[in-house]
Amino acid sequence: MPFLVAVLALLLALPAAAEEPTRIGYVNTAITNLGLTRSHRVVVERFSDPEVAGVSCYISQARTGGLTGMVGLAEDPGRFSLTCVATGTVRVADGAQRGERGEQVYESDTSLFFKETRVHRFIDEAAGTVVYLAWSTRLVDGSPFNAVAVVPYARQP
């Protein structure tokens, strides 16, 4: 029985089942190892929130190049930018988690161990908006890097 409780707790802690992000493109920011390995770059990806129809979010993140970047051992900088836009009629599902803790809808590993970029969704029903907060799990001077994007939706009467 304790095993079942632990598994249930783990499942509840997982992010909403979002589709895999789609890479939109990237720019090289610095050539590494005379061009023999992947360059440092900024990558742009799009992801959708499974509980909010009609919204696409775009996140840009720095990715470390070089040999360690190519094999997945590099630690990427914890800096990013986030914007979310209405791409159709915005509809918040009844099952979308509400409350001040929000719900995680995206995550991206930015180092081999422990550092991630995460995006949480909050529903501001009073203002009729969906708020997305991107943040890094790595603390920098006591506060993680973060960014916010807001998309309005038509409130149901």
Structure confidence at residue 111 (pLDDT) = 58
d(CA 70, CA 122): 35
d(CA 87, CA 47): 12
Q: Which amino acid is at 21?
A: P
d(CA 15, CA 105): 5
**Domain ranges for the chain:** 21-152
Structure confidence at residue 133 (pLDDT) = 95
Instruction: Determine the Cα angle at 51 with ends 49 and 56, to 5°.
Output: 30
> Residue 11: in which H helix or E strand, if any?
helix 2-13
In total, the chain counts a number of residues equal to 157
d(CA 46, CA 80): 13
Structure confidence at residue 14 (pLDDT) = 43
pTM of the model: 0.75
Give the DSSP letter of residue 86. E
Q: Are 63 and 69 in contact (CB under 8 A)?
A: yes
d(CA 139, CA 151): 27
Q: Quick: pLDDT tens for 30-45.
A: 777 766 667 788 889 9
The first and second tokens of residue 58, run together, are: 């775009």
Average pLDDT of the residues in 85-113:
87
